């Protein structure tokens, strides 16, 4: 992987803060022509440094019954391919929101979303546990999200300053 | 019954004016224009404010932690009057490596309750009744009132947008009389964002020497310059002994509420200021001093990130004002833009009040900062990009509406 330039990192930082920041505004803030910003963004999109412009949703505001679970999975790695092929078999399922290879007591951490406890349970028993290399699973249901991707979900006043000061 | 009676009594007493008992100077000082404007803003909801004179960053976590740890370890006692010697040593190193000025930690540095106390001490230590204090304006709001409280006479020197609000030799010379004693400098400037380069300082230093002036240099925004490094007035030849350098942790390290600043200068000045300091506040709060020590020891990287972020937002607002059609000189320091609203035909106060009322944007009218401030608006860009963008949009619409009416 090639390293990013300092300029690209600055563009990235601004987009990470707000993916909808317009290239013109970024150009002004970094004091460069807008073409340079567009080029930097295009290059990072092409290299999959920027993967997607997604929206962080606080689903709990919708009072829906969606269930999120974290599953610890122990697996037997395959000769020559390690964990990657088994990981692929897991992450291709659309229910899987994230998948990490972990150091420590287990191998993979799977985050899955379902519409009910039953749905999550059925994913674990029918799809995950049936993969031959999977030795064991431990499922933890998430009860409440306080913070995700650096964003605090609770009602939280972050600016404590007085509105006018000398 | 008795309680009711005494309540009535105290109401009666309250109705009688007690002002005649007050010290005359205190009575005659006008309340700060900023305070008046704050009261106005507080009555409104959903206001975007560009009126805040402090960083929008929270003090870095490890700095807060250092203060908590000092409390946990029970370091809650007085420190020496001049401040922890470790902190004074750190300040000395910091000033030397960042601004090329060297001060002896044991007799040339005094840790104070914010830069504000340092300014107060310096003025009180220097002023004898009737001394004239030269103050380039527009400037921070406290210099003139403290001068008056100390028995001095404040003499404003107007600076202009066409000079990027720099102090010029001509205007300084014009203001000097045989009674002139102290020149107060605040560059980078609150409210204008103006700075002074080495070349700008040279003729000023010459006059200071010739006219035998003492300088109080408020360099609280020293870290916040964009594209050029701050030049401390004390670095000019012969100026170190004539200069009391005042600074603090509020702006560069996002530590406003900690109230921690310092003054550096000739041992005679510092020991005189120390006398007042020891009889009035004893010492700066110990937990703040431990936090400041941590900021100087391990906080320099965060500081640089904050400066970079201010610079990005500075470009955003300056371009925004110019596109609206409001003249805006290039602010090269602090975190304020000071656009001219004179083209709208309104005074600063009218503009600010109507902007608040009709567009829901708060910014401080320039006239509260003294001479040369009328016709301008102080806009702090230490606020989020989304708020700044929205504020510029609203100001643009407001100015367009004014032009059409």
| Per-residue pLDDT reduced to its tens digit, B122-160 | 999 999 999 999 999 999 999 999 999 999 999 999 999
Q: Structure tokens of B260?
A: 């921690």
Domain that holds residue B386: 28-53+302-404
CB B270 within 8 A of CB B108: yes
pLDDT at residue B1 greater than cutoff 70: no
pLDDT in tens, B315-339: 999 999 999 999 999 999 999 999 9
Considering the domain architecture, whether residues B239 and B368 belong to the same structural domain is answered as no
* The residue count for chain A: 166
Q: Cβ separation of A29 and B362 shorter than 8 Å?
A: no
Going along chain A from its start, the domains and CATH numbers come out as 6-46 (1.10.10), 64-148 (3.30.70.920)
Give me the phi and psi of B238, to 5 degrees please. Answer: 80, 0
Q: How far apart are CA B368 and CA A166, in angstroms?
A: 10
Classify residue B4: in a domain, yes or no: no
Model pTM above 0.80: yes
pLDDT grade for B44, boundaries at 50, 70 and 90: confident
pLDDT grade for A1, boundaries at 50, 70 and 90: very low
Partners of residue B251 in chain A, C-beta under 8 Å: none
How much is the pLDDT for B258?
97
Number of domains in chain B: 2
Q: Cβ separation of A163 and B313 shorter than 8 Å?
A: no
How much is the pLDDT for B310?
97
Q: Parallel, antiparallel, or unpaired for β B153-158 and A147-148?
A: unpaired
pLDDT at residue B96 greater than cutoff 70: yes
- Tokens 């000189």 locate to B329
Partners of residue B47 in chain A, C-beta under 8 Å: 163
pLDDT at residue B9 greater than cutoff 60: no
Q: How far apart are CA A30 and CA B297, in angstroms?
A: 29
Instruction: Give me the helices (H) in B221-299, please.
Output: 267-280, 286-298
CB B141 within 8 A of CB B33: yes
Partners of residue A22 in chain B, C-beta under 8 Å: none
Considering the domain architecture, whether residues B109 and B205 belong to the same structural domain is answered as yes
Interface ipTM? 0.81
Please compute, for residue B305, the number of CA atoms within 13 A of its CA located in the half-sphere on the CB side: 13
Classify residue B14: in a domain, yes or no: no
pLDDT at residue B259 greater than cutoff 70: yes
How much is the pLDDT for B354?
96
Query: Which is more confident, B299 or B178?
Result: B178
Query: Which is more confident, B62 or B43?
Result: B62
The CATH number of whichever domain residue B125 belongs to comes to 3.40.640.10
Terminus-to-terminus CA distance in chain B, angstroms? 61
Percent of chain B with pLDDT over 70: 97
Q: Structure tokens of B300?
A: 């320099």
Size of interface A-B (CB pairs under 8 A): 59
- Sorted by sequence, the CB contacts under 8 Å of residue B287 that are 6+ apart come out as B67, B70, B71, B75, B76
CB B55 within 8 A of CB B251: yes
The CATH number of whichever domain residue B364 belongs to comes to 3.90.1150.10
Question: Can you tell me whether residue B237 is helix, strand or coil?
Answer: coil
Of the listed ranges A10-24, B24-38, B234-248, the one predicted with least confidence: B24-38
């Amino acid at each position: 992987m090639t390293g990013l330039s300092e300029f690209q990192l600055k563009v990235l930082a601004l987009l990470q803060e707000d993916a909808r920041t317009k290239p013109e505004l970024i150009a002004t803030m970094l004091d460069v022509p807008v073409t340079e910003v567009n080029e930097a963004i295009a290059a990072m999109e092409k290299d999959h440094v920027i993967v997607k412009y997604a929206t962080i949703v606080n689903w709990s505001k919708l009072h829906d019954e969606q269930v999120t679970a974290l599953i610890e999975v122990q697996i037997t790695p395959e000769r020559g391919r390690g964990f990657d092929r088994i990981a692929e078999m897991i992450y291709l399922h659309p229910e899987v929101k994230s998948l990490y290879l972990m150091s420590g007591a287990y191998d993979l951490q799977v985050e899955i979303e379902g519409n009910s406890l039953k749905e999550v349970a059925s994913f674990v028993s029918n799809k995950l546990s049936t993969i031959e290399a999977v030795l064991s699973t431990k499922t933890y249901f998430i009860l409440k999200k306080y913070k995700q991707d650096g964003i605090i979900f609770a009602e939280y006043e972050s600016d404590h300053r007085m509105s006018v000061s000398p | 019954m008795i309680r009711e009676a005494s309540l009535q009594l105290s109401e009666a007493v309250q109705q009688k004016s007690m002002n005649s008992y007050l010290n005359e100077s205190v009575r005659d000082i006008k309340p700060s224009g900023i305070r008046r404007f704050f009261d106005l803003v507080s009555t409104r909801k959903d206001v975007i404010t560009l009126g805040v004179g402090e960083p929008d960053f929270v003090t870095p976590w490890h700095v807060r932690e250092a203060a908590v740890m000092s409390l946990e370890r029970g370091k809650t006692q007085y420190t020496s009057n001049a401040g922890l010697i470790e902190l004074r040593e750190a300040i000395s190193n910091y000033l030397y490596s960042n601004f090329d000025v060297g001060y002896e930690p044991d007799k040339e540095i005094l840790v104070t309750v914010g830069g504000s106390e340092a300014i107060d001490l310096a003025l009180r230590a220097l002023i004898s009744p009737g001394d004239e204090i030269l103050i380039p304006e527009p400037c921070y709001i406290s210099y003139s009132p403290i001068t008056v409280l100390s028995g001095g006479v404040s003499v404003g020197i107007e600076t202009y947008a066409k000079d990027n609000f720099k102090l010029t030799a001509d205007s300084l010379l014009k203001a000097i009389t045989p009674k002139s004693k102290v020149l107060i400098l605040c560059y980078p400037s609150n409210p204008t964002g103006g700075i002074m380069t080495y070349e700008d300082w040279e003729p000023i230093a010459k006059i200071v020497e010739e006219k035998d002036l003492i300088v109080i240099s408020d360099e609280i925004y020293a870290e916040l310059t964009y594209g050029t490094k701050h030049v401390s007035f004390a670095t000019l030849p012969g100026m170190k002994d004539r200069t009391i350098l005042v600074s603090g942790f509020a702006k560069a390290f996002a530590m406003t509420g900690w109230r921690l600043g310092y003054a550096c200068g000739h041992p005679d000045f510092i020991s005189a200021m120390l006398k007042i300091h020891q009889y009035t506040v004893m010492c700066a709060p110990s937990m703040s001093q431990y936090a400041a020590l941590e900021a100087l020891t391990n906080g320099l990287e965060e500081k640089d990130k904050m400066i970079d972020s201010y610079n990005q937002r500075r470009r955003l607002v300056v371009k925004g004002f110019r596109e609206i059609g409001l003249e805006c000189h290039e602010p090269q320091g602090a975190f304020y833009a000071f656009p001219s609203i004179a083209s709208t035909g309104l005074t600063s106060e009218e503009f600010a009040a109507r902007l608040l009322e009709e567009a829901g944007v708060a910014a401080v009218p320039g006239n509260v900062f003294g001479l040369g401030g009328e016709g301008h608006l102080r806009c702090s860009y230490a606020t989020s990009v989304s708020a700044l963008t929205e504020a510029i949009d609203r100001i643009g619409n407001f100015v367009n509406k004014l032009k059409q009416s």
